[in-house]
Chain A
Protein backbone atom coordinates (compact mmCIF):
# COMPACT_ATOMS: atom_id res chain seq x y z
CA UNK A 1 0.00 0.00 0.00
CA UNK A 2 1.43 3.40 -0.89
CA UNK A 3 2.55 5.80 1.82
CA UNK A 4 0.34 8.85 2.36
CA UNK A 5 0.58 11.48 -0.31
CA UNK A 6 3.14 14.23 0.24
CA UNK A 7 3.59 17.40 -1.83
CA UNK A 8 6.96 16.07 -3.00
CA UNK A 9 5.47 12.80 -4.27
CA UNK A 10 2.67 14.66 -6.01
CA UNK A 11 5.09 17.06 -7.71
CA UNK A 12 7.37 14.24 -8.82
CA UNK A 13 4.54 12.14 -10.25
CA UNK A 14 2.89 15.09 -11.96
CA UNK A 15 6.17 16.21 -13.49
CA UNK A 16 6.90 12.69 -14.70
CA UNK A 17 3.45 12.40 -16.27
CA UNK A 18 3.86 15.81 -17.90
CA UNK A 19 7.24 14.78 -19.34
CA UNK A 20 5.75 11.57 -20.69
CA UNK A 21 2.93 13.52 -22.28
CA UNK A 22 5.35 15.97 -23.88
CA UNK A 23 7.46 13.13 -25.29
CA UNK A 24 4.39 11.34 -26.61
CA UNK A 25 3.08 14.51 -28.25
CA UNK A 26 6.41 15.09 -29.94
CA UNK A 27 6.73 11.48 -31.07
CA UNK A 28 3.16 11.33 -32.37
CA UNK A 29 3.63 14.52 -34.35
CA UNK A 30 6.32 12.76 -36.38
CA UNK A 31 4.12 9.76 -37.14
CA UNK A 32 1.80 9.81 -40.07
CA UNK A 33 1.26 8.85 -43.69
CA UNK A 34 3.92 11.39 -44.62
CA UNK A 35 7.12 10.82 -42.64
CA UNK A 36 8.64 14.06 -41.46
CA UNK A 37 11.92 14.84 -39.75
CA UNK A 38 11.95 16.83 -36.57
CA UNK A 39 15.25 18.38 -37.50
CA UNK A 40 13.90 19.66 -40.79
CA UNK A 41 10.71 20.82 -39.17
CA UNK A 42 12.45 22.86 -36.50
CA UNK A 43 15.18 24.31 -38.69
CA UNK A 44 14.67 27.84 -39.88
CA UNK A 45 15.69 27.90 -43.49
CA UNK A 46 18.12 30.62 -44.50
CA UNK A 47 15.92 31.32 -47.44
CA UNK A 48 12.52 31.82 -45.87
CA UNK A 49 10.84 31.73 -49.24
CA UNK A 50 11.99 28.18 -49.89
CA UNK A 51 9.24 25.62 -49.21
CA UNK A 52 9.75 23.44 -46.15
CA UNK A 53 7.07 20.74 -46.31
CA UNK A 54 8.20 19.11 -43.04
CA UNK A 55 7.73 22.37 -41.18
CA UNK A 56 4.36 22.97 -42.80
CA UNK A 57 3.05 19.53 -41.88
CA UNK A 58 4.49 19.72 -38.37
CA UNK A 59 3.15 23.16 -37.54
CA UNK A 60 -0.06 23.41 -39.50
CA UNK A 61 -1.37 19.87 -39.73
CA UNK A 62 -0.12 17.68 -36.92
CA UNK A 63 0.59 20.01 -33.99
CA UNK A 64 -2.88 21.58 -33.82
CA UNK A 65 -4.48 18.18 -33.97
CA UNK A 66 -2.23 16.72 -31.29
CA UNK A 67 -2.72 19.71 -29.03
CA UNK A 68 -6.46 19.35 -29.58
CA UNK A 69 -6.36 15.67 -28.61
CA UNK A 70 -4.35 16.49 -25.49
CA UNK A 71 -6.75 19.23 -24.46
CA UNK A 72 -9.84 17.09 -24.97
CA UNK A 73 -8.29 14.10 -23.19
CA UNK A 74 -7.23 16.22 -20.22
CA UNK A 75 -10.64 17.86 -19.93
CA UNK A 76 -12.63 14.63 -20.19
CA UNK A 77 -10.49 12.66 -17.73
CA UNK A 78 -10.34 15.57 -15.26
CA UNK A 79 -14.08 16.14 -15.47
CA UNK A 80 -14.64 12.40 -15.06
CA UNK A 81 -12.76 12.45 -11.75
CA UNK A 82 -14.85 15.36 -10.52
CA UNK A 83 -18.21 13.94 -11.60
CA UNK A 84 -17.43 10.60 -9.96
CA UNK A 85 -16.56 12.36 -6.72
CA UNK A 86 -19.52 14.73 -6.70
CA UNK A 87 -22.04 12.04 -7.62
CA UNK A 88 -20.33 9.60 -5.23
CA UNK A 89 -20.67 7.08 -8.02
CA UNK A 90 -17.87 5.18 -9.71
CA UNK A 91 -19.99 4.73 -12.84
CA UNK A 92 -20.32 8.46 -13.46
CA UNK A 93 -18.62 10.02 -16.46
CA UNK A 94 -18.56 13.56 -17.83
CA UNK A 95 -21.56 12.86 -20.04
CA UNK A 96 -23.82 11.48 -17.34
CA UNK A 97 -25.72 14.70 -16.70
CA UNK A 98 -26.78 15.15 -20.28
CA UNK A 99 -23.86 17.19 -21.59
CA UNK A 100 -23.37 14.81 -24.51
CA UNK A 101 -26.95 14.73 -25.74
CA UNK A 102 -27.34 18.45 -25.15
CA UNK A 103 -24.31 19.18 -27.29
CA UNK A 104 -25.49 16.64 -29.87
CA UNK A 105 -28.89 18.29 -30.10
CA UNK A 106 -27.26 21.71 -30.51
CA UNK A 107 -25.13 20.38 -33.34
CA UNK A 108 -27.88 18.56 -35.18
CA UNK A 109 -30.19 21.57 -34.92
CA UNK A 110 -27.43 23.71 -36.39
CA UNK A 111 -26.79 21.26 -39.22
CA UNK A 112 -30.37 20.32 -40.05
CA UNK A 113 -31.54 23.88 -39.54
CA UNK A 114 -28.86 24.83 -42.04
CA UNK A 115 -27.54 27.73 -40.03
CA UNK A 116 -25.88 29.89 -42.64
CA UNK A 117 -24.43 32.57 -40.48
CA UNK A 118 -20.85 32.61 -39.35
CA UNK A 119 -19.16 33.92 -36.26
CA UNK A 120 -15.86 35.67 -37.04
CA UNK A 121 -15.78 33.60 -40.18
CA UNK A 122 -16.42 30.33 -38.34
CA UNK A 123 -19.26 27.84 -38.52
CA UNK A 124 -21.76 28.07 -35.64
CA UNK A 125 -21.70 24.31 -35.04
CA UNK A 126 -19.11 24.46 -32.25
CA UNK A 127 -20.93 27.26 -30.52
CA UNK A 128 -24.26 25.42 -30.78
CA UNK A 129 -22.69 22.35 -29.21
CA UNK A 130 -21.32 24.45 -26.36
CA UNK A 131 -24.61 26.20 -25.70
CA UNK A 132 -26.56 22.93 -25.92
CA UNK A 133 -24.19 21.22 -23.48
CA UNK A 134 -24.23 23.94 -20.86
CA UNK A 135 -27.97 24.53 -21.21
CA UNK A 136 -28.71 20.85 -20.61
CA UNK A 137 -26.44 20.46 -17.63
CA UNK A 138 -27.93 23.61 -16.14
CA UNK A 139 -31.42 22.15 -16.54
CA UNK A 140 -30.41 18.81 -15.02
CA UNK A 141 -28.64 20.51 -12.13
CA UNK A 142 -31.74 22.59 -11.44
CA UNK A 143 -33.95 19.49 -11.34
CA UNK A 144 -31.44 17.76 -9.06
CA UNK A 145 -31.53 20.70 -6.63
CA UNK A 146 -35.31 20.48 -6.44
CA UNK A 147 -35.30 16.75 -5.73
CA UNK A 148 -32.88 16.84 -2.85
CA UNK A 149 -29.93 18.63 -1.41
CA UNK A 150 -28.31 15.79 0.47
CA UNK A 151 -28.46 13.01 -2.03
CA UNK A 152 -27.57 12.72 -5.65
CA UNK A 153 -30.04 10.05 -6.81
CA UNK A 154 -32.47 12.68 -8.10
CA UNK A 155 -29.69 14.42 -9.98
CA UNK A 156 -28.51 11.17 -11.54
CA UNK A 157 -32.02 10.14 -12.56
CA UNK A 158 -32.69 13.57 -14.01
CA UNK A 159 -29.49 13.24 -16.03
CA UNK A 160 -30.40 9.80 -17.33
CA UNK A 161 -33.93 10.83 -18.30
CA UNK A 162 -32.90 14.09 -19.96
CA UNK A 163 -30.19 12.16 -21.82
CA UNK A 164 -32.74 9.63 -23.06
CA UNK A 165 -35.20 12.34 -24.07
CA UNK A 166 -32.64 14.38 -25.97
CA UNK A 167 -31.22 11.25 -27.60
CA UNK A 168 -34.69 10.48 -28.91
CA UNK A 169 -34.89 13.98 -30.34
CA UNK A 170 -31.48 13.48 -31.94
CA UNK A 171 -32.59 10.18 -33.47
CA UNK A 172 -35.76 11.80 -34.76
CA UNK A 173 -33.84 14.64 -36.37
CA UNK A 174 -31.26 12.23 -37.78
CA UNK A 175 -33.98 10.14 -39.38
CA UNK A 176 -35.43 13.12 -41.22
CA UNK A 177 -32.04 14.60 -42.15
CA UNK A 178 -30.86 14.53 -45.76
CA UNK A 179 -27.69 12.85 -47.03
CA UNK A 180 -25.01 15.47 -46.47
CA UNK A 181 -26.55 16.65 -43.20
CA UNK A 182 -26.78 13.10 -41.99
CA UNK A 183 -23.14 12.45 -42.73
CA UNK A 184 -22.03 15.62 -40.95
CA UNK A 185 -24.13 14.78 -37.91
CA UNK A 186 -23.00 11.21 -37.58
CA UNK A 187 -19.39 12.19 -38.11
CA UNK A 188 -19.73 14.66 -35.26
CA UNK A 189 -21.53 12.23 -32.96
CA UNK A 190 -18.81 9.62 -33.41
CA UNK A 191 -16.18 12.04 -32.19
CA UNK A 192 -13.33 13.28 -34.27
CA UNK A 193 -10.23 15.39 -34.14
CA UNK A 194 -10.52 17.65 -37.14
CA UNK A 195 -7.78 20.21 -37.33
CA UNK A 196 -9.06 23.34 -35.67
CA UNK A 197 -7.68 26.73 -36.39
CA UNK A 198 -5.27 28.14 -33.88
CA UNK A 199 -7.44 30.85 -32.39
CA UNK A 200 -10.11 28.32 -31.37
CA UNK A 201 -7.37 26.12 -29.92
CA UNK A 202 -5.86 28.94 -27.88
CA UNK A 203 -9.18 30.11 -26.48
CA UNK A 204 -10.50 26.67 -25.60
CA UNK A 205 -7.09 25.54 -24.36
CA UNK A 206 -7.01 28.50 -22.01
CA UNK A 207 -10.51 27.70 -20.82
CA UNK A 208 -9.73 24.05 -20.16
CA UNK A 209 -6.44 24.84 -18.40
CA UNK A 210 -8.10 27.44 -16.20
CA UNK A 211 -10.90 25.02 -15.36
CA UNK A 212 -8.48 22.26 -14.42
CA UNK A 213 -6.38 24.57 -12.26
CA UNK A 214 -9.52 25.74 -10.48
CA UNK A 215 -10.58 22.15 -9.90
CA UNK A 216 -7.13 21.31 -8.53
CA UNK A 217 -7.63 23.85 -5.78
CA UNK A 218 -10.99 22.27 -4.95
CA UNK A 219 -9.59 18.73 -5.04
CA UNK A 220 -8.55 18.47 -1.35
CA UNK A 221 -12.19 19.00 -0.40
CA UNK A 222 -13.42 16.49 -2.99
CA UNK A 223 -12.01 13.69 -0.84
CA UNK A 224 -14.46 14.21 2.01
CA UNK A 225 -17.28 15.28 -0.34
CA UNK A 226 -16.94 11.96 -2.18
CA UNK A 227 -17.50 10.22 1.16
CA UNK A 228 -20.79 11.95 1.91
CA UNK A 229 -22.62 15.23 2.33
CA UNK A 230 -22.93 15.06 6.09
CA UNK A 231 -19.32 13.98 6.57
CA UNK A 232 -18.12 16.94 4.54
CA UNK A 233 -20.33 19.38 6.42
CA UNK A 234 -19.22 18.17 9.82
CA UNK A 235 -15.51 18.59 9.06
CA UNK A 236 -16.21 22.16 8.05
CA UNK A 237 -16.51 22.07 4.26
CA UNK A 238 -19.18 24.44 2.88
CA UNK A 239 -20.49 21.61 0.71
CA UNK A 240 -23.04 23.51 -1.38
CA UNK A 241 -20.56 26.17 -2.47
CA UNK A 242 -17.78 23.72 -3.29
CA UNK A 243 -20.12 21.36 -5.12
CA UNK A 244 -21.58 24.17 -7.20
CA UNK A 245 -18.13 25.47 -8.12
CA UNK A 246 -16.81 22.00 -8.98
CA UNK A 247 -19.92 21.11 -11.02
CA UNK A 248 -19.73 24.38 -12.92
CA UNK A 249 -16.02 24.01 -13.72
CA UNK A 250 -16.30 20.33 -14.68
CA UNK A 251 -19.37 20.95 -16.84
CA UNK A 252 -17.61 23.90 -18.48
CA UNK A 253 -14.47 22.01 -19.47
CA UNK A 254 -16.56 19.05 -20.66
CA UNK A 255 -18.69 21.36 -22.77
CA UNK A 256 -15.56 22.91 -24.29
CA UNK A 257 -14.13 19.47 -25.03
CA UNK A 258 -17.36 18.20 -26.55
CA UNK A 259 -17.74 21.27 -28.73
CA UNK A 260 -14.22 20.77 -30.03
CA UNK A 261 -14.28 17.09 -30.76
CA UNK A 262 -17.77 15.63 -30.60
CA UNK A 263 -18.53 12.65 -28.41
CA UNK A 264 -15.52 10.65 -27.37
CA UNK A 265 -16.50 8.00 -24.91
CA UNK A 266 -14.46 5.98 -22.49
CA UNK A 267 -11.76 8.51 -21.58
CA UNK A 268 -13.78 10.23 -18.88
CA UNK A 269 -14.89 6.98 -17.29
CA UNK A 270 -11.89 4.70 -17.55
CA UNK A 271 -8.86 6.95 -17.13
CA UNK A 272 -9.88 8.06 -13.60
CA UNK A 273 -10.36 4.42 -12.63
CA UNK A 274 -7.06 3.34 -14.13
CA UNK A 275 -5.20 6.09 -12.27
CA UNK A 276 -7.09 5.27 -9.07
CA UNK A 277 -6.18 1.59 -9.40
CA UNK A 278 -2.50 2.42 -9.61
CA UNK A 279 -2.13 5.48 -7.36
CA UNK A 280 -5.10 5.40 -4.99
CA UNK A 281 -8.20 7.56 -4.61
CA UNK A 282 -6.76 10.80 -3.16
CA UNK A 283 -8.23 13.51 -5.39
CA UNK A 284 -5.32 15.88 -4.90
CA UNK A 285 -3.30 13.42 -6.94
CA UNK A 286 -6.06 11.76 -8.92
CA UNK A 287 -7.12 14.95 -10.69
CA UNK A 288 -3.76 16.11 -12.11
CA UNK A 289 -2.57 12.60 -12.92
CA UNK A 290 -5.87 11.66 -14.60
CA UNK A 291 -5.83 14.81 -16.69
CA UNK A 292 -2.29 14.17 -17.89
CA UNK A 293 -2.96 10.48 -18.48
CA UNK A 294 -6.18 11.28 -20.34
CA UNK A 295 -4.28 13.68 -22.56
CA UNK A 296 -1.58 11.09 -23.21
CA UNK A 297 -4.17 8.40 -23.93
CA UNK A 298 -6.13 10.48 -26.41
CA UNK A 299 -3.00 11.71 -28.20
CA UNK A 300 -1.89 8.11 -28.75
CA UNK A 301 -5.40 6.92 -29.64
CA UNK A 302 -5.83 9.68 -32.19
CA UNK A 303 -2.46 8.96 -33.74
CA UNK A 304 -3.55 5.36 -34.21
CA UNK A 305 -6.92 6.50 -35.55
CA UNK A 306 -5.36 8.63 -38.26
CA UNK A 307 -2.61 6.21 -39.27
CA UNK A 308 -3.93 2.67 -38.99
CA UNK A 309 -6.05 2.76 -42.15
CA UNK A 310 -4.27 5.74 -43.77
CA UNK A 311 -5.05 7.61 -45.88
CA UNK A 312 -8.53 7.03 -44.49
CA UNK A 313 -9.17 7.90 -40.83
CA UNK A 314 -11.13 6.19 -38.10
CA UNK A 315 -13.21 8.05 -35.53
CA UNK A 316 -11.02 8.27 -32.46
CA UNK A 317 -13.87 6.98 -30.28
CA UNK A 318 -13.45 3.59 -31.97
CA UNK A 319 -9.82 3.43 -30.90
CA UNK A 320 -10.34 4.65 -27.33
CA UNK A 321 -12.74 1.81 -26.64
CA UNK A 322 -10.98 -0.86 -28.71
CA UNK A 323 -7.59 -0.27 -27.09
CA UNK A 324 -8.62 1.19 -23.78
CA UNK A 325 -11.16 -1.53 -23.00
CA UNK A 326 -8.87 -4.57 -22.98
CA UNK A 327 -6.06 -2.57 -21.37
CA UNK A 328 -8.35 -1.52 -18.56
CA UNK A 329 -9.67 -5.06 -18.08
CA UNK A 330 -6.11 -6.35 -17.63
CA UNK A 331 -5.47 -3.63 -15.06
CA UNK A 332 -8.75 -4.39 -13.34
CA UNK A 333 -8.10 -8.12 -13.08
CA UNK A 334 -4.50 -7.72 -11.90
CA UNK A 335 -5.08 -4.96 -9.35
CA UNK A 336 -8.75 -5.57 -8.60
CA UNK A 337 -7.85 -8.87 -7.00
CA UNK A 338 -5.88 -6.95 -4.39
CA UNK A 339 -9.17 -5.67 -3.10
CA UNK A 340 -9.53 -2.37 -4.94
CA UNK A 341 -13.31 -2.50 -4.76
CA UNK A 342 -13.23 -3.38 -1.10
CA UNK A 343 -10.23 -1.26 -0.25
Chain B
Protein backbone atom coordinates (compact mmCIF):
# COMPACT_ATOMS: atom_id res chain seq x y z
CA UNK B 1 0.00 0.00 0.00
CA UNK B 2 1.31 3.45 -0.91
CA UNK B 3 1.75 5.63 2.18
CA UNK B 4 -0.51 8.70 2.34
CA UNK B 5 2.47 10.88 3.26
CA UNK B 6 6.16 10.20 2.77
CA UNK B 7 8.80 12.59 4.03
CA UNK B 8 12.17 11.73 2.54
CA UNK B 9 15.23 13.30 4.19
CA UNK B 10 13.66 16.72 4.51
CA UNK B 11 15.77 19.58 5.81
CA UNK B 12 14.46 23.08 6.35
CA UNK B 13 15.65 26.18 8.21
CA UNK B 14 14.52 29.78 8.20
CA UNK B 15 18.22 30.56 7.96
CA UNK B 16 20.18 28.30 5.72
CA UNK B 17 22.92 27.60 8.25
CA UNK B 18 20.45 26.80 11.05
CA UNK B 19 18.10 23.99 10.10
CA UNK B 20 14.98 23.57 12.20
CA UNK B 21 14.33 20.18 10.68
CA UNK B 22 17.30 18.07 9.68
CA UNK B 23 17.09 14.94 7.58
CA UNK B 24 13.61 14.02 8.78
CA UNK B 25 12.17 10.82 7.31
CA UNK B 26 8.84 9.22 8.01
CA UNK B 27 5.83 7.60 6.39
CA UNK B 28 2.17 7.83 7.33
CA UNK B 29 -0.03 4.94 6.14
CA UNK B 30 -3.44 5.89 4.72
CA UNK B 31 -6.12 6.26 7.38
CA UNK B 32 -3.60 6.73 10.17
CA UNK B 33 -3.87 9.22 13.01
CA UNK B 34 -0.42 10.70 13.64
CA UNK B 35 0.39 13.00 16.53
CA UNK B 36 3.29 15.43 16.15
CA UNK B 37 4.73 16.31 19.54
CA UNK B 38 7.78 18.12 20.81
CA UNK B 39 8.82 21.27 22.65
CA UNK B 40 8.30 24.76 21.25
CA UNK B 41 10.77 25.56 18.51
CA UNK B 42 11.34 21.93 17.59
CA UNK B 43 9.78 22.52 14.17
CA UNK B 44 6.26 21.10 14.51
CA UNK B 45 4.48 23.98 12.81
CA UNK B 46 7.26 24.22 10.26
CA UNK B 47 6.72 20.58 9.42
CA UNK B 48 3.00 21.22 9.01
CA UNK B 49 3.74 24.12 6.63
CA UNK B 50 5.97 21.83 4.59
CA UNK B 51 3.31 19.12 4.41
CA UNK B 52 0.74 21.73 3.36
CA UNK B 53 3.05 23.00 0.62
CA UNK B 54 3.26 26.48 2.12
CA UNK B 55 7.04 26.21 2.24
CA UNK B 56 9.46 24.11 0.26
CA UNK B 57 12.07 21.95 2.01
CA UNK B 58 15.65 23.00 1.29
CA UNK B 59 16.46 19.41 0.54
CA UNK B 60 14.52 16.18 0.51
CA UNK B 61 11.12 15.38 -0.94
CA UNK B 62 7.57 15.11 0.34
CA UNK B 63 5.24 12.71 -1.45
CA UNK B 64 1.46 12.68 -1.01
CA UNK B 65 0.30 9.26 -2.12
CA UNK B 66 2.76 8.96 -5.00
CA UNK B 67 2.75 12.60 -6.05
CA UNK B 68 5.72 14.83 -5.29
CA UNK B 69 4.59 17.99 -3.53
CA UNK B 70 7.12 20.11 -5.43
CA UNK B 71 5.32 19.46 -8.71
CA UNK B 72 1.84 20.26 -7.34
CA UNK B 73 0.03 23.55 -7.90
CA UNK B 74 -1.76 25.28 -5.02
CA UNK B 75 -5.04 23.84 -6.28
CA UNK B 76 -3.67 20.32 -6.62
CA UNK B 77 -2.38 20.44 -3.06
CA UNK B 78 -5.77 21.68 -1.83
CA UNK B 79 -7.46 18.65 -3.37
CA UNK B 80 -5.20 16.38 -1.30
CA UNK B 81 -4.62 18.25 1.98
CA UNK B 82 -6.84 20.38 4.21
CA UNK B 83 -5.25 22.44 6.98
CA UNK B 84 -6.98 23.43 10.22
CA UNK B 85 -5.32 26.30 12.04
CA UNK B 86 -6.33 28.37 15.00
CA UNK B 87 -5.64 31.83 13.57
CA UNK B 88 -8.83 33.82 13.57
CA UNK B 89 -9.30 37.39 12.35
CA UNK B 90 -12.82 38.54 13.19
CA UNK B 91 -12.85 41.16 10.45
CA UNK B 92 -16.03 40.92 8.47
CA UNK B 93 -18.63 38.88 10.30
CA UNK B 94 -18.99 35.77 8.17
CA UNK B 95 -21.42 33.17 9.49
CA UNK B 96 -20.46 29.61 10.35
CA UNK B 97 -22.05 28.27 7.18
CA UNK B 98 -20.34 30.89 5.00
CA UNK B 99 -17.03 30.05 6.63
CA UNK B 100 -17.38 26.32 6.01
CA UNK B 101 -18.54 26.94 2.45
CA UNK B 102 -15.27 28.78 1.75
CA UNK B 103 -13.58 25.38 1.74
CA UNK B 104 -15.29 24.77 -1.62
CA UNK B 105 -13.90 27.95 -3.25
CA UNK B 106 -11.75 25.89 -5.60
CA UNK B 107 -14.79 24.01 -6.87
CA UNK B 108 -17.08 27.00 -7.53
CA UNK B 109 -18.55 27.18 -11.02
CA UNK B 110 -17.79 29.81 -13.62
CA UNK B 111 -20.07 32.37 -12.00
CA UNK B 112 -18.55 31.83 -8.61
CA UNK B 113 -21.26 29.71 -7.05
CA UNK B 114 -21.22 26.34 -5.35
CA UNK B 115 -22.95 23.25 -6.75
CA UNK B 116 -25.54 21.15 -4.87
CA UNK B 117 -22.74 18.63 -4.26
CA UNK B 118 -20.71 21.35 -2.53
CA UNK B 119 -23.72 22.24 -0.39
CA UNK B 120 -24.12 18.58 0.54
CA UNK B 121 -20.48 18.37 1.67
CA UNK B 122 -20.93 21.49 3.78
CA UNK B 123 -24.09 20.11 5.36
CA UNK B 124 -22.34 16.83 6.15
CA UNK B 125 -19.34 18.61 7.66
CA UNK B 126 -21.62 20.70 9.86
CA UNK B 127 -23.43 17.57 11.02
CA UNK B 128 -20.24 15.65 11.78
CA UNK B 129 -18.86 18.49 13.87
CA UNK B 130 -22.26 19.16 15.48
CA UNK B 131 -22.21 22.77 14.37
CA UNK B 132 -25.48 22.73 12.41
CA UNK B 133 -27.31 24.33 15.33
CA UNK B 134 -25.37 27.57 15.00
CA UNK B 135 -24.78 27.49 11.24
CA UNK B 136 -26.29 30.93 10.76
CA UNK B 137 -24.49 32.56 13.66
CA UNK B 138 -21.46 34.77 13.24
CA UNK B 139 -18.09 33.20 13.87
CA UNK B 140 -17.09 35.88 16.36
CA UNK B 141 -20.05 35.15 18.63
CA UNK B 142 -18.96 31.56 19.26
CA UNK B 143 -16.90 30.18 22.09
CA UNK B 144 -13.37 29.01 21.36
CA UNK B 145 -14.45 25.36 21.39
CA UNK B 146 -17.35 25.95 19.02
CA UNK B 147 -15.12 27.95 16.70
CA UNK B 148 -12.53 25.20 16.67
CA UNK B 149 -15.21 22.75 15.57
CA UNK B 150 -16.19 25.13 12.78
CA UNK B 151 -12.61 25.25 11.52
CA UNK B 152 -12.49 21.46 11.58
CA UNK B 153 -15.79 21.46 9.66
CA UNK B 154 -14.16 23.68 7.05
CA UNK B 155 -11.29 21.24 6.78
CA UNK B 156 -13.76 18.36 6.35
CA UNK B 157 -15.79 20.20 3.74
CA UNK B 158 -12.65 20.43 1.65
CA UNK B 159 -13.12 16.65 1.27
CA UNK B 160 -9.45 15.70 1.13
CA UNK B 161 -7.80 12.37 1.97
CA UNK B 162 -5.43 14.15 4.39
CA UNK B 163 -6.29 16.49 7.26
CA UNK B 164 -3.56 18.51 9.02
CA UNK B 165 -4.32 20.21 12.34
CA UNK B 166 -2.21 22.71 14.27
CA UNK B 167 -2.92 22.27 17.97
CA UNK B 168 -6.64 21.62 17.61
CA UNK B 169 -7.24 21.66 21.37
CA UNK B 170 -5.29 24.69 22.54
CA UNK B 171 -7.48 27.13 24.50
CA UNK B 172 -10.01 24.39 25.18
CA UNK B 173 -11.14 22.99 28.50
CA UNK B 174 -10.94 19.26 29.24
CA UNK B 175 -14.46 18.52 28.06
CA UNK B 176 -13.89 20.20 24.73
CA UNK B 177 -10.45 18.66 24.31
CA UNK B 178 -12.00 15.24 24.58
CA UNK B 179 -14.84 16.17 22.24
CA UNK B 180 -12.39 17.36 19.57
CA UNK B 181 -10.34 14.17 19.80
CA UNK B 182 -13.49 12.02 19.74
CA UNK B 183 -14.55 13.93 16.66
CA UNK B 184 -11.21 13.43 14.92
CA UNK B 185 -11.26 9.74 15.79
CA UNK B 186 -14.75 9.33 14.33
CA UNK B 187 -13.69 11.16 11.15
CA UNK B 188 -10.71 8.86 10.86
CA UNK B 189 -12.91 5.81 11.27
CA UNK B 190 -15.88 6.91 9.15
CA UNK B 191 -14.14 8.57 6.24
CA UNK B 192 -10.74 6.87 6.38
CA UNK B 193 -9.07 10.27 6.50
CA UNK B 194 -5.36 10.39 7.26
CA UNK B 195 -4.96 12.82 10.15
CA UNK B 196 -1.81 14.60 11.30
CA UNK B 197 -2.27 16.72 14.42
CA UNK B 198 0.27 18.80 16.29
CA UNK B 199 -0.40 18.43 19.98
CA UNK B 200 1.04 19.45 23.31
CA UNK B 201 -1.12 17.01 25.22
CA UNK B 202 0.84 13.77 25.26
CA UNK B 203 -1.77 11.91 27.29
CA UNK B 204 -4.50 12.64 24.78
CA UNK B 205 -2.13 11.68 21.99
CA UNK B 206 -1.43 8.42 23.76
CA UNK B 207 -5.13 7.64 23.95
CA UNK B 208 -6.20 8.63 20.47
CA UNK B 209 -3.28 8.56 18.05
CA UNK B 210 -1.99 5.42 16.34
CA UNK B 211 1.46 6.84 15.81
CA UNK B 212 3.50 9.71 17.13
CA UNK B 213 6.32 11.77 15.70
CA UNK B 214 8.35 13.22 18.55
CA UNK B 215 10.61 16.10 17.51
CA UNK B 216 13.46 17.39 19.67
CA UNK B 217 14.88 20.85 19.18
CA UNK B 218 18.04 19.32 17.80
CA UNK B 219 17.74 20.33 14.20
CA UNK B 220 20.64 22.73 14.33
CA UNK B 221 22.84 20.97 16.86
CA UNK B 222 25.86 19.09 15.72
CA UNK B 223 24.77 16.10 17.76
CA UNK B 224 24.85 13.00 15.61
CA UNK B 225 21.79 10.94 14.94
CA UNK B 226 18.24 11.96 14.13
CA UNK B 227 16.41 14.57 16.25
CA UNK B 228 13.08 12.81 15.90
CA UNK B 229 11.44 9.51 16.71
CA UNK B 230 8.44 8.03 14.99
CA UNK B 231 6.51 4.86 15.64
CA UNK B 232 3.60 3.47 17.60
CA UNK B 233 2.58 6.06 20.14
CA UNK B 234 3.20 3.78 23.11
CA UNK B 235 6.71 3.08 21.85
CA UNK B 236 7.61 6.70 21.08
CA UNK B 237 6.14 8.49 24.08
CA UNK B 238 8.17 6.62 26.67
CA UNK B 239 8.99 8.53 29.86
CA UNK B 240 12.68 8.54 28.97
CA UNK B 241 12.16 9.90 25.45
CA UNK B 242 9.77 12.60 26.64
CA UNK B 243 12.09 13.60 29.49
CA UNK B 244 14.93 13.96 27.02
CA UNK B 245 12.92 15.86 24.39
CA UNK B 246 11.35 18.35 26.80
CA UNK B 247 14.21 18.48 29.33
CA UNK B 248 11.87 17.83 32.24
CA UNK B 249 11.38 15.23 34.94
CA UNK B 250 8.25 13.12 34.63
CA UNK B 251 6.06 10.98 36.76
CA UNK B 252 4.62 8.15 34.72
CA UNK B 253 2.00 5.66 35.75
CA UNK B 254 -0.25 3.09 34.17
CA UNK B 255 -4.03 3.31 34.34
CA UNK B 256 -5.31 0.07 32.90
CA UNK B 257 -3.32 -0.31 29.73
CA UNK B 258 -2.82 3.39 29.16
CA UNK B 259 0.28 5.20 30.32
CA UNK B 260 -0.02 8.68 31.77
CA UNK B 261 2.75 11.22 31.98
CA UNK B 262 2.80 14.03 34.49
CA UNK B 263 5.48 16.74 34.53
CA UNK B 264 7.26 17.16 37.88
CA UNK B 265 9.82 19.84 37.15
CA UNK B 266 12.80 20.93 35.18
CA UNK B 267 15.48 18.39 34.53
CA UNK B 268 18.64 19.21 36.50
CA UNK B 269 21.29 20.56 34.16
CA UNK B 270 25.00 20.28 34.81
CA UNK B 271 25.16 24.06 35.19
CA UNK B 272 22.39 24.02 37.82
CA UNK B 273 24.35 21.85 40.23
CA UNK B 274 25.93 23.62 43.18
CA UNK B 275 29.69 23.85 43.08
CA UNK B 276 31.27 20.92 44.91
CA UNK B 277 32.71 21.92 48.27
CA UNK B 278 36.36 22.72 48.07
Contact = CB atoms under 8 A, between A and B. Distances in A.
B48 to A, nearest CB: 10
A231 B102 contact: yes
Chain B at the A interface: SS class = mixed
Contacts of A90: 91-92
Contacts of A48: none
B98 A282 contact: yes
Interface residues of B, number: 41
A6 interface: yes
A230 B138 contact: no
A202 interface: no
Interface string A224-253: 101110111111111100000000000000
B93 A4 contact: no
Interface stretch (B75-83, B224-232, B245-253): B75-83
A230 B164 CA distance: 13
B84 to A, nearest CB: 9
A228 to B, nearest CB: 6
6 contacts: A84-B92, A235-B103, A236-B74, A236-B77, A236-B105, A280-B95
Most buried by A among B82, B102, B141, B158: B102
Nearest to A286: B92
A7 interface: yes
A276 B91 CA distance: 12
Nearest to A234: B83
Contacts of B73: 238
A227 B105 contact: no
A238 B75 contact: yes
B78 A88 contact: no
A273 to B, nearest CB: 10
Interface stretch (A57-65, A215-223, A301-309): A215-223
Of A220, A231, A238, A284, the most chain B CB neighbours within 10 A belong to A231
Interface in B30-79: 52, 54, 73-75, 77-79
Given A88-B89, A343-B138, A237 B106 contact: yes
Contacts of A84: 92
B87 A238 contact: no
Nearest to B141: A342
B93 A220 contact: no
Contact of B108 (A6, A220, A226): A220
Given A227-B102, A238-B74, A342 B93 contact: yes
A228 B99 CA distance: 12
Given A227-B89, A234-B83, A220 B94 contact: no
A341 B139 CA distance: 10
A328 B62 CA distance: 52
B136 interface: yes
Nearest to A89: B91
Q: How big is the A interface, by class?
A: 35 or more
Interface of A: 1, 4, 6-7, 84-85, 88-90, 216-217, 219-221, 223-224, 226-228, 230-239, 276, 280-282, 284, 339-343
A81 to B, nearest CB: 10
A221 B111 CA distance: 12
A343 B141 contact: yes
Nearest to A237: B105
Contacts of A282: 94, 98
Central interface residue in A220, A235, A340, by most chain B CB within 10 Å: A235
Nearest to A273: B92
A340 B137 CA distance: 10
B170 to A, nearest CB: 16
Given A234-B78, A342-B141, A281 B87 contact: no
A85 B93 CA distance: 12
B52 A235 contact: no
A284 B112 contact: yes
A227 B94 contact: yes
Contacts of A85: 92
B265 interface: no
B98 A4 contact: yes
B97 interface: yes
Interface in B88-131: 89-95, 97-99, 101-106, 108, 111-113
B266 interface: no
B3 interface: no
A342 B113 CA distance: 26
